[in-house]
Amino acid sequence: MGYKKKEGSGAFIFKWDPRVKIAALFVYLVFSLQAERILPLLLSLGFVVLLALLGRVSLWEFIRRLSLLILFGGFLLIFYPFLVPGQEIFAVNLGPLGADASLEGFYRGVVLLLRLAVSLAVLTVLLVSTGPVNIFKALEDLRVPGLFLRTAEFTLRYFYLCTDELKTMITAQKARGFEPAKSLLNIFTMNTLSHLIGMLFLRTYKRGERVYTAMLSRGYTGEFYTLSSFSPQISDYLLGVLVSAAGIAIFLFDKGAV
């Protein structure tokens, strides 16, 4: 879970004011993801990796999170060549069914994969160096709607509680001798699991009511008040300008203006 302090927490990227960091990385993403060629996108990814390394973001953390790409990116590379028409690289024939893989499709798949990689890399840098608590605070300061933030915060806060409740319920079922059948088509197994999910919903609903009552008891009237504790320095803004400028430069390079 992203709440843990990561190594390198004394480095510049960890000290960077979260509001400026989010704004700058957002600008960087918006511009650099406009690129449609592989080289600018590779440069964009390289810049984020460099930023992470200079900022002493754990390399292992970086690799661990980017490894998610293998799953989604793999699908892009497998299917895109068959979806986009163009110069044929190879053909797949399965009896009466056949499909041609195109070079253009493969190229398109790689571009999308790189865009995904850049987004994930930026998100990793942000999450690891800032942590969800400060990200939410900064988004609040950046005037992101409170309802959206509260929903996200509550999801994060209560996800683990619901998971624990589910685990406890499963353990209690096992303690009374329940063993799910190998097939979900087994009526008893299906019934038991549906009851489990239904009960979890009810418990969650009840929990929600209790949380709301507890909030009311402390004077909640529908408005959220928070105290901002950030005070950006000139160096924070300079770094922000640098990162944003890098995004714009990649965009211009892709369009052939640089």
Partner 1 sequence: MPYEKYAVEIKNLFYTYPGGVEALKGLSVRVPLNSKTALLGPNGAGKTTLIFHLNGIFLPQKGEVYVLGQEVSRKTEKELKTKVGLVFQDPDDQLFAPTVWEDAAFGPLNMGLKRDEVEKRVEEALKQVGAYELKDRPPYMLSYGEKKRAAIAGVLAMDPEIIVLDEPWAFLDPLGQEQIGDILTRLHEKGKTIILATHDVDFAAQWADWVIVIRDGMLVAEGEPSLLTEEGVVFRGGLRYPLITRLFKEAKLMEGDKLPYTLDQGIEIIRKLLEEGLRQN
Q: Which residues bind partner 1 (CB under 8 A)?
A: 3, 132-133, 136, 153-154, 156-158, 160-161, 207, 210-211, 213-221, 225-227
Closest C-alpha among 99, 98, 129 to residue 21: 129
CB of 64 to partner 1, least distance (A): 21
CB of 61 to partner 1, least distance (A): 19
Closer residue to partner 1 in complex, CB, 191/226: 226
Report which residue type is found at 225: Y
Q: Which two tokens stand for residue 8?
A: 């390198």
Task: Kindly report the number of other CB atoms within 10 A of residue 23's CB atom.
Answer: 17
Closer residue to partner 1 in complex, CB, 94/227: 227
Closer residue to partner 1 in complex, CB, 177/222: 222
Closer residue to partner 1 in complex, CB, 131/247: 131
Strands (E), the chain: 88-94, 97-102
Question: Contacts for 199-207 with beta carbons within 8 Å, 24 or more apart?
Answer: 199/169, 200/162, 200/165, 200/166, 200/169, 203/165, 204/158, 204/162, 204/165, 207/158, 207/161
CB of 153 to partner 1, least distance (A): 6
CB of 49 to partner 1, least distance (A): 29
